[in-house]
Chain A
Amino acid sequence: MRIPRPKILSLPFLDDIEEKGVVRASTDLADDVVTRVTSGLNITDIRGVLRGDPAVRPNPRLTPHAEGFWLHMKPTYYNNLMDGLYPTFRLGWLATFFFAWEIVTGIFLMVFYTPSPLVAYENMLNILSNVPFGRWMRDTHKLGGELMVLLVVFHMYRTYITGSYKRPRQFTWATGALLLTFTLVVSFFGYLLPWDQLSLWAVTIGASTAGAIPIVGTEADLLVRGGLEFGANGLLRAYLIHVILLPIIMIILLGVHYYKVVIHGHSLPPEAEEPSVDTARKVPMNVRTYFMPKILTRELVYVAGLTLILLAASAFAFGYHAPLEPHADNLVTPLHTTAPWYFLWIQGLMKLGDNFIFGVVLPGAILTGIILAWPYVEVGRNRRYGKRRIGLSIAASTIIGAAILTYMGTPWFGVETSPDQEAIAILLPQTSPGPLRLSDWDDIPYGTYLASEWESAPTRTTSKLLKTFDQELEHASDNPLYGDVEGFMVVEDWQTDLKKITVRIVWVDPETGAPAEFSEIFFFHRNSDYGQGE
């Protein structure tokens, strides 16, 4: 029975209902919407992808690559040889995933963060203790950033080792070198935002490095610092650079980088093609693996696995937790202050001499000069491992060099202070909570304890602390300037639920016989929470 309808509005859907009935018209409409959203795949096509059916001809799974935005950045098909782990290890894809991860978790953190020295640290405490999943967001943002640095570096080494940077992919490599630099720089500026001692002094060192550039150095330093020392201006600048400026630049660079990969095709394993010939662009029909469904599934599995690892790594008490030191203080530099681990190599360089040469010229030349320009300088076409002995040896020696420089960047190289201060820093370090602050409040009973008599201490905790102290005191005893070294720990009842713990070293000057002492006092509250809840 047809109901006559006045033709005032032209609504094809209503016509469809008249023609096919409600159910058929609705499923057709759904199909149409899905095809539009996926740029070319209807529901049947998607089910075909999910079921792993062979593609029909003409293959509708190619259309999203040609017509859609997202997949135009992905090759339509890969060579079969590029399907497994080797040779890419999917490191580039994983680095991209972490970039997205950082943006998402970063936006969550921004909701609870104000870039002002007055409240930034308080915001951190709020995120850690009050915001649901706040601490986890912060942990994974920090961990994700560090893993991203690692993945980008591994990706670079992989590209170098398989010779994939060679012609015609020099430009892809160059954009990758810039992305590496920006990954490091964006992490560096993010470092300041918690506004704790760790961040303030690490970033102060970085900004002072910029100050070492001749002529423009002072201005460069002022531009970053926003004043003579880091304060409200500097924090705001670091924040804006971290959340707006560098991410925009990186998104653009990432687009260029991806486009070049699509244009040139993934470079095949070096042993798979004739030496000096690039055959990646033309993939014969019989060795093609189409992006959909196989590669897509693999990429999603990798990402899901990594998310699981990331989640597990910081979700549990024993997992990774981003450190938070005491509030930033422009008047005190903690002993053993260091840069983040991925900048230790620069710190190691800077212990060698002139700031400009070792802190600016060399790292700058390595990052943007040598790495970026490498494929335009080293133009040998042969990608076979056996024919690149010098090139591969250089890569191996850079890893060794980076390891040595990183060691040199740590406090163990060239930064020892006097043995008495070092011994106390073993129990009460200034850049991390350390064993004493992390001890159980109840396990440290009142009393005076000699470090050398650690075996007779009343509790296991106290005994362990004293033993650590005693071992470190041996360095003082070995020092000819220290005679009769003795270490004490005095635990007093100071207030309700508050212990005053004095860690003291006494010694005599072997020449004059004059007594000397050094001590540090730590007030330990029953509810002190240096371990952030553990």
Chain B
Amino acid sequence: MTDAEGQPPEEGQAGALENLGVATPELTRREFLYYLWASSMAVFLAGVGGVTIWFALPRFREGEFGGIFVLPIEDIPAPDSDPMEFAEGRFWLVNIGNEILNDPRQPDEYKVNPGIRTLYKVCPHLGCLYKWVPSNDRFECPCHGSKYLKSDARIGGPARRNLDQFFTEVLDASGSVLVQSEPTWPGDRESTAVPIPPGAVALRIDTGRRLDGAPNVKPGGGL
């Protein structure tokens, strides 16, 4: 500690400050080692913080959420009928027909094709479960009032995207895939509806594979 005492002040800033009457004692070995120790402790504590978060993150068993649902083709709703709810899979099945395709409320930005769409039951706004309101012919969220068409398109409320969808395939009798849903939006979003070709016997829905709805931010729906 006494090493630095009695030595002339170095040139540069320290000297300049001393000229102003501000005493700036020089860095001693002891002080330097303290800083070194403190920074190593800071790095260590940052590591502990990271480990704490890692520790507290929930662990999932495989298949704990999501799963494969296979539905016989007879069970799916008719085109343009009311959506069908599958509570255990957390989804709605919608069969898009001409009426939905020609719905004047549908924003132009989003392509809709005839077929089956599997909509994730959870509102993309803040996680409530939206419900089907037949007399308004749309989905409505009971929490903050986001509104969606059967097609998945948001047409009002505070949500910022269309409804999320699950990956859906159509299988034939041998179990091979005839059609599958494909993303239509950059970043693997907004899946196509799957048409039901002749020879189809079942629908396979993988709720472990979710595609976010396309961004939709305008007051009446649209980009």
Q: Which residues of A contact B (CB under 8 A)?
A: 201, 204-205, 207-209, 211, 219, 222-223, 225-229, 233, 331-338, 347, 350-355, 359, 414-421, 430, 481-482, 516, 518
When C-beta atoms are compared, the residue in chain B nearest to A234 turns out to be: B58
Q: How far is the CA of A416 from the CA of B140 in the complex (A)?
A: 9
27 A-B residue pairs with Cβ-Cβ distance under 8 Å, sorted by A, are A201-B128, A204-B128, A205-B143, A207-B127, A208-B125, A219-B57, A223-B56, A227-B60, A227-B64, A228-B60, A228-B65, A331-B129, A333-B128, A334-B142, A347-B144, A350-B158, A351-B144, A351-B157, A352-B158, A414-B145, A415-B144, A415-B145, A417-B142, A418-B135, A419-B135, A421-B133, A430-B142
Contacts of B157 in A (CB 8 A): 351, 414
When C-beta atoms are compared, the residue in chain B nearest to A335 turns out to be: B142
Contacts of A225 in B (CB 8 A): 58
Contacts of A355 in B (CB 8 A): 125-126, 158, 160
- Not counting A331-B129, A415-B145, a sample of 17 additional A-B residue pairs whose C-beta atoms are within 8 angstroms of each other reads A204-B127, A207-B127, A219-B53, A222-B57, A223-B53, A223-B56, A233-B58, A333-B131, A334-B142, A335-B142, A353-B158, A353-B160, A355-B125, A414-B145, A414-B157, A418-B136, A430-B142
Please tell me if B87 contacts chain A, counting CB pairs below 8 Å.
yes
Q: How far is the CA of A518 from the CA of B94 in the complex (A)?
A: 21
Contacts of B140 in A (CB 8 A): 417
Q: How far is the CA of A204 from the CA of B217 in the complex (A)?
A: 23
When C-beta atoms are compared, the residue in chain B nearest to A347 turns out to be: B144
Contacts of B126 in A (CB 8 A): 204-205, 208-209, 350, 355, 359
Contacts of A351 in B (CB 8 A): 144-145, 157-158
Contacts of A211 in B (CB 8 A): 127
Q: How far is the CA of A337 from the CA of B145 in the complex (A)?
A: 10
- Tell me the residues in window 34-84 of chain B with beta carbons closer than 8 Å to chain A beta carbons: 53, 56-58, 60, 64-65
When C-beta atoms are compared, the residue in chain B nearest to A201 turns out to be: B128
Question: Are A336 and B142 in contact (CB-based, < 8 A)?
Answer: yes
What is the interface residue range for chain B against chain A?
20 to 34
Q: How far is the CA of A417 from the CA of B135 in the complex (A)?
A: 9
Question: Are B143 and A415 in contact (CB-based, < 8 A)?
Answer: yes
The smallest C-beta distance from A530 to any residue of chain B, in angstroms, reads 20
Q: Which residues of B contact A (CB under 8 A)?
A: 53, 56-58, 60, 64-65, 87, 125-131, 133-136, 140-145, 157-158, 160, 217
The smallest C-beta distance from B52 to any residue of chain A, in angstroms, reads 10
Question: Are B158 and A205 in contact (CB-based, < 8 A)?
Answer: no
Question: Are A205 and B127 in contact (CB-based, < 8 A)?
Answer: yes
Residue from B87, B126, B217 with most neighbouring chain A CB atoms (10 Å): B126
Contacts of B131 in A (CB 8 A): 333
When C-beta atoms are compared, the residue in chain A nearest to B126 turns out to be: A208
Contacts of A416 in B (CB 8 A): 145
Classify the secondary structure of B's interface with A.
loop
Contacts of B125 in A (CB 8 A): 208, 350, 355
Contacts of A481 in B (CB 8 A): 135
Contacts of A207 in B (CB 8 A): 127
Contacts of B217 in A (CB 8 A): 353-354
Question: Are A417 and B133 in contact (CB-based, < 8 A)?
Answer: yes
Contacts of B130 in A (CB 8 A): 333
Per a CB cutoff under 8 Å, which of B129, B135, B158 touches A516?
B135
The smallest C-beta distance from A463 to any residue of chain B, in angstroms, reads 27
Question: Are A333 and B142 in contact (CB-based, < 8 A)?
Answer: yes
Knowing A205-B126, A223-B56, A350-B126, the reply to whether A518 touches B135 (Cβ < 8 A) is yes
Contacts of A204 in B (CB 8 A): 126-128
The smallest C-beta distance from B120 to any residue of chain A, in angstroms, reads 12
Per a CB cutoff under 8 Å, which of A233, A337, A352 touches B143?
A337
Question: Are A331 and B160 in contact (CB-based, < 8 A)?
Answer: no
When C-beta atoms are compared, the residue in chain B nearest to A226 turns out to be: B58
Q: How far is the CA of A12 from the CA of B133 in the complex (A)?
A: 86
Contacts of A332 in B (CB 8 A): 129
Contacts of B129 in A (CB 8 A): 331-333
Q: How far is the CA of A417 from the CA of B217 in the complex (A)?
A: 21
Q: How far is the CA of A430 from the CA of B131 in the complex (A)?
A: 14
Knowing A208-B127, A333-B128, the reply to whether A354 touches B143 (Cβ < 8 A) is no
Question: Are A350 and B160 in contact (CB-based, < 8 A)?
Answer: no
The smallest C-beta distance from A399 to any residue of chain B, in angstroms, reads 24
The smallest C-beta distance from B163 to any residue of chain A, in angstroms, reads 15
When C-beta atoms are compared, the residue in chain A nearest to B131 turns out to be: A333
Q: How far is the CA of A418 from the CA of B157 in the complex (A)?
A: 15
Contacts of A430 in B (CB 8 A): 142
Contacts of A209 in B (CB 8 A): 126
Contacts of B60 in A (CB 8 A): 227-228
Q: What are the 3 A-B residue pairs with the smallest beta carbon separation, nearest first?
A: A208-B127, A415-B145, A208-B126
Contacts of B145 in A (CB 8 A): 351, 414-416
When C-beta atoms are compared, the residue in chain B nearest to A337 turns out to be: B143
Contacts of A228 in B (CB 8 A): 60, 65
Knowing A223-B57, A233-B58, A333-B142, the reply to whether A417 touches B136 (Cβ < 8 A) is yes
Contacts of B87 in A (CB 8 A): 331
Contacts of A420 in B (CB 8 A): 135
When C-beta atoms are compared, the residue in chain A nearest to B127 turns out to be: A208
Q: How far is the CA of A209 from the CA of B217 in the complex (A)?
A: 17
Q: How far is the CA of A333 from the CA of B136 in the complex (A)?
A: 18
Q: How far is the CA of A518 from the CA of B134 in the complex (A)?
A: 9
Contacts of B136 in A (CB 8 A): 417-418
Knowing A223-B53, A233-B58, the reply to whether A415 touches B142 (Cβ < 8 A) is yes
